[in-house]
Amino acid sequence: MKLLITGGAGYIGSHTIIDILENTDHEVVSVDNFSNSEPASYDRIEQITGQKVRHYDIDLTDYKRLKEELFEVESAFDGIIHFAALKAVGESVEKPVMYYHNNLNSQINLLKCIEKYDIPAFIFSSSCTVYGEAETLPVTEETPVSKTESPYGYTKLAGEKILEDFSKTKDNFRAISLRYFNPVGAHMSGKNGELPKGRPNNLVPVVTQFASGWLDALAVHGDDYETRDGTAIRDYIHVSDIAHAHVLAMEYIVAQKQEAVYDVYNLGVGKGVTVLEVIKAFEASTGKKLDYTIGPRRAGDIEAIYADNSKVRNRLGWEPRLTIEDAMSSAWRWQEHLNASRDYGKARP
């Protein structure tokens, strides 16, 4: 297969390219405008896999460039895995138009190209944020959606709907939305991982940057939730396990195993873990003690969510291979890799 990976220099995109190059014979082309990543990401992929990735620096909202400089240059793709999107929840509340413009127009332009160049398969990065605060846990794919809190969440919800509607109109086309829970960790070599621009918001980069002195505080956002230790519960899933699910999903639809033209899958480990348990897992797997503080709840946070993942297990044959300890130790190896690099030292928040 020849696959187009959008956002291939980003966190999940780069790990997916690594999985494809390490485990399959599929050909990969990436498109990324480095809005939250950097060209060095491709060098890291090459260091790990020994293979160069052909890549384009194009903003997907620019249909003319996308069409003329990518789709007309490359021969036909067998499928597209679409990661490229803005994803900071708080920023989306402050800049909703930027989020709707970027995330929706990028996807719509890709669908236009799918129509024009007759591409048969599409995988969309969705999020458990579409469930909002669910009444019953774990959430299944049948749990009602649409109570999402942020413009970011609405771009995922709308993206799913656009894809579903599009799928019904096109012959010989199959699509999947994967609803990620909380992606964490780094490639087990420690040579590729998450590199958010500026100060991170997500828990694990905050933990690793705090542990190495880049940040001066680690605040637990609220310990008065109705959970076993008072802190919020999430389903943390190793990024390499997320990456592998895309390969399985693409092979599944290209082999025409999916009857429905469009389907959604939860992608989580199926286990709820509290913030304090994440911190303990980090301490246990790295031997580093975290001197955290307890702060107030973070606006917009929900109390608890975790996945029922039986559908992705049963249909795609996916299962999580790595643990939360693997996620913490690999995230730490990646952080140490960054610490050792002078250039990243300068980029510290």
Nearer to ligand UD1 (CB atom), residue 101 or residue 297: 297
3-class SS letters over 56-78? ECCCCCCHHHHHHHHHCCCCCCC
Q: How far is CA 3 from CA 30, 74, 163, in A?
A: 8, 11, 18
DSSP tally for the chain: helices H, then strands E: 13, 13
- The one among 14, 125, 143, 150 contacting ligand UD1 by CB under 6 A: 150
Q: Please choose, out of 18-26, 66-74, 202-210, 334-342, the segment that lies near ligand UD1 by the rule CB under 6 A.
A: 202-210
Q: Per the structure block, which two tokens stand in for 25?
A: 């014979």
Q: Which of 11, 131, 152, 252 is catalytic?
A: 152
* Under rule CB under 6 A, residue 301 binds ligand UD1: yes
By CB atoms closer than 10 A (0-12, 13-18, 19+), residue 83 is buried
Binding status of residue 206 toward ligand UD1 by CB under 6 A: yes
**Of the two residues 120 and 272, which places its CB atom closer to ligand UD1 in the complex?**
272
Q: Tell whether residue 234 is a contact of ligand UD1 (CB under 6 A).
A: yes
Nearest to ligand UD1 of 86, 322 (CB atom): 86
219 belongs to the binding site for ligand UD1 (CB under 6 A): yes
Report strand pairing: 54-56 vs 79-82: unpaired
Judged by CB under 6 A, which stretch of 27-35, 71-79, 136-144, 213-221 contacts ligand UD1? 213-221
Q: Residue written as tokens 């007309």?
A: 72
Which x/- pattern, by CB under 6 A, does the window 263-292 give for ligand UD1? ------------x-----------------
Contact status, residue 4 vs residue 79, Cβ threshold 8 Å: yes
Respond yes or no on whether the N-terminal peptide bond of residue 151 is cis (omega within 30° of 0): no
**152 carries an active-site annotation:** yes
Exactly one of 17, 84, 89, 239 binds ligand UD1 (CB under 6 A); that residue is: 89
User: How far is residue 300 CA from its own chain's centroid?
Assistant: 20
Catalytic center residues: 152
For ligand UD1, the binding residues (CB under 6 A) are 87, 89, 127, 129, 150, 153, 180, 182, 201-203, 206, 219-221, 232, 234, 275, 298, 301-302
